Structure 1
Amino acid sequence: MKLVTFDDGQRIGVGRVADDGVTVLDLGGVFGRRTLLEVIEEWDRLEPVTAAAGDLPVVPAPRLLAPIPQPRRNLFAIGKNYRDHVREFGRSGYDSPDRSEDIPTAPVVFSKATTTVTGPFDDIDPHPGVTSELDYEVELAVIIGRGGRGIRREQALDHVWGYTIANDVTARDLQRDHKQWLLGKSLDTFAPMGPWAVTADEVGDPTALVVSSTVNGEPR
């Protein structure tokens, strides 16, 4: 199931993407005023109702926002998460502190502030007074549904509600100069997200997914 957060000019609501991949159906009659984040928290109860809902009204000309416009906590991300990127980044001069091309032996974890999140089609603020070296990276974003800690590896995917796409925008000069990642990753609008969130059951095996990015139609 593909769910979105939309603005129709009168309110912000949660919708379902129709089978044509374009039309947005209004789930206000099912979810009331709940945000998608609140829907995810009640998913065990709401999913059967959502799946059975028929004759949903179409949202005319919706503006799609990030599926979760205001996360409750920072986005957690894994740096150096594929081999070519590790080598490229190690040679770039932006890495800190070791500027190494070696594959990490443990995940490199950083976070992005909640205020980085913006809509999938919104402009990114380049912050020209703060940075002059912007970069971008397409990422598969994992949406956690059921919380926990000390989770065993074989049980990890049981806690995943679904997935979306994020653009990890970075001010590389801030990352280099401050010798840490938080500032360069966390300027406002530095995490465009969406356009929709896809439930884990529809995705299946996430390792079979392919993500890609283009700039003015050119693959990057």
Structure 2
Amino acid sequence: MRLVSFSSSSSRDGSVRLGVDTAAGVVEVPEGSGAPVTVRDLLAAGPAGLDRVRAVVADADGAVPLESLRLAPAVPDPAKIICVGLNYQKHAAEGGMPVPEQPIYFAKFGNSLAGSGADVVIPAATRRADYEVELVAVVGRRTRGVSVEAALDSVFGYATGNDLSARELQMRSSQWTYGKAIDGFAPLGPFLVTADEVPDPQALDLRCWVNGELRQDSNTRDMVFSVAELVSDLSQIMTLEPGDVIYTGTPEGVILGMADPVWLQPGDEVACEVQGLGRLVTRLVADPT
């Protein structure tokens, strides 16, 4: 199932609501239907919640085009946004860095989330904004100390992500947060696709375009650490909660690895795709301050 979070005029408070992408368009899960109406409620309800959403959508009459909606991040309010650095063999090589022996983690926060189609400000503090298409895994149940073999059972679904980065700010110390956790620098969407539609997360094509020019073109098989290994590793030291998101790293083709880099500028449009998970579009704009 391809789930959509969007700002709904039909809800009483204009809050973010849950819909399902179908062949006819996006069907909103209505209040009072007995089904969860947000991603958070859906994750809390477990498999029974998914069954209720399926039943409601099957009986629904109306649908609207995806393009007509103001999309929210695919997971609007995760408790954790965990990112993985240098997790593709060729990406490490293009940056002149060794392939890590253990996963490299950093965090982003709720302020960094953006929905597909949103404008994202390039802050005046950077002149080296860069893109990173990524497969994002979304945790579906409370998980602690899970094995690699069982780790994918804890994944609710997957989404397309863009780990936007300000390179000179990222590299000013050994800690990357200052160049990563920027407002809007974690676009996520357009869909949250349930795990049953992604039988092998290590066999997905990833692509990224800037103004229509293909920049990244790879496959998740090039990951250094698989999704299962990342989930298992993280769960050894923290409790993963439903809705936590894990940006699993980017392949080669980023601006940082180019001999003559031309950094992202206001007016650029970045489009990211992960096979079967939809096209995530971000428009970059100038800092008004």
State the TM-score bracket (shorter-chain normalisation).
0.7 to 0.9
Change (3 A) 1:177 1:31: farther
For normalisation by structure 1, the TM-score amounts to 0.87
| Structure 1: distance between partners of 2:17 and 2:140 | 20
Question: Structure 1 stretches (4+) deviating beyond 3 angstroms?
Answer: 29-34
Percent of paired sites with the same residue = 37
> Is the aligned partner of 1:87 residue 2:93?
yes
Query: Which residue does 1:95 correspond to in 2?
Result: none
SS at match of 1:142: strand
> Is the aligned partner of 1:66 residue 2:73?
yes
What displacement does 1:43 show? 2.4
Where structure 1 has 5 or more consecutive residues not aligned to the other structure, the ranges are 91-100
CA contact (8 A) 1:120 1:194 kept: yes
> Is the aligned partner of 1:19 residue 2:20?
no
For normalisation by structure 2, the TM-score amounts to 0.67
5 Å matches for 1:59-138? Answer: 59=64, 61-73=68-80, 75-90=81-96, 101-128=97-124, 130-138=125-133
SS at match of 1:141: strand
CA contact (8 A) 2:162 2:186 kept: yes
CA contact (8 A) 1:8 1:59 kept: no
CA contact (8 A) 2:160 2:189 kept: yes
Q: Pick from 156, 161, 168: which aligns with 2:151?
A: 156
SS at match of 1:125: strand
Q: Pick from 35, 52, 57: which aligns with 2:55?
A: 52
What displacement does 1:51 show? 2.0
What displacement does 1:31 show? 5.7
Query: Which residue does 1:198 correspond to in 2?
Result: 193
What displacement does 1:105 show? 0.8
Where structure 2 has 5 or more consecutive residues not aligned to the other structure, the ranges are 216-289
Show CA shifts across 1:111-148 (max 9, x none): 111210011110111011x2111111000000000122
SS at match of 1:179: coil
Show CA shifts across 1:93-126 (max 9, x none): xxxxxxxx32111111111112100111101110
Aligned-partner residue type, residue 29 of structure 2: L
| Structure 2: distance between partners of 1:67 and 1:107 | 25
Structure with the bigger percentage of helix: 1
Change (3 A) 1:210 1:31: farther
What displacement does 1:67 show? 1.4
Show CA shifts across 1:3-61 (max 9, x none): 001124453310000035xx110112446674212211212221122222323232463
CA contact (8 A) 1:6 1:62 kept: yes
CA contact (8 A) 2:6 2:72 kept: yes
